[in-house]
Structure 1
Amino acid sequence: MDDLSDPSAVAVFNHLNSSLVLSREISAKNIFPAFDPLVSSSNNVNPEFIGQWHYNAILETRYILQKYKEIEDIMLILGFDELDDQSKTIVKKALQLQKFFSQNFYMTEHFTLKSSVFVNLGDTIGSVEKILKGEFLDLNPEKFSYIDSVDDIKI
């Protein structure tokens, strides 16, 4: 399915337990996989299935990314420097999160010449939590591209 506004796509989504939506907009930012966490969904995103820590990280990440989406147009018109401090913090966290969600795939090693690594779920949630806490606000979001953990960032 290519068009999420297509009624047949909407009808199918209602019968799925989860959906992973890939985005051309995210792909254009050179972030792969280009999944859109705001449109993707799963019935298993529930503290009973994934635990409270993971659940809280997902909720806060979605909140930051949604706020960023709301701020993005204003920022493009006025510029980053004209945003209030709270909005600047949201933008920095959102850009870092977007870049952090990039991954090197095992199946593309042959083409990209970049080795892939399996990352433990706990390490991933811990890294996301550190980004959400604002521990790296002074760092360029590009430093978060295709890393396994925030511990891999070279400062």
Structure 2
Amino acid sequence: MEESEMIWDDVIDPATGWLVPGRHFAELDEIQDEFGRAEDRARICRALRELLEALKPLIVSGTALISGTFVSRQPGPCEAPMVVVSPHDESTLESWTDAEELRFMHHESLEDVLVGSLGGSYLATLDPLGGAVQVYYSAPSDLDNWEQLIGAVTMSSGTDILGARGVVEVEW
């Protein structure tokens, strides 16, 4: 895409400000132009760029799905988006050395973490990049399931409606 070809008005529900269900391909610059102008959102854009640049040596060709209030026209501050990272080649993870796997884990959200260097501090969730994003790894064959999960809406009754909101897809 030379100039911004993504027409966000076509994929954002004007009544809610959320992406319509499905995957909506965009370049990182287009995401920044549409969603990254406010100060809290600019911080998230910087974290997304940093994340993708750090992962490119580990995942030479891949996809990231991004969801949440960050990729919406919801007013006010937004929470850290969920980012699901997947290589295009199913065997990528198997080819990593232990050091490469550890490098990836430094960029992945971890749950139930005990940090010894902080005096044995327990953290329910440890998110990379100062908590600006939540990052999860997916095999290519699981991306459709992740799309449904991170695009879910929880109703007031507690029921989840999978895939009710769209996600942004970035490829490299």
TM-score, with structure 1 as normaliser: 0.26
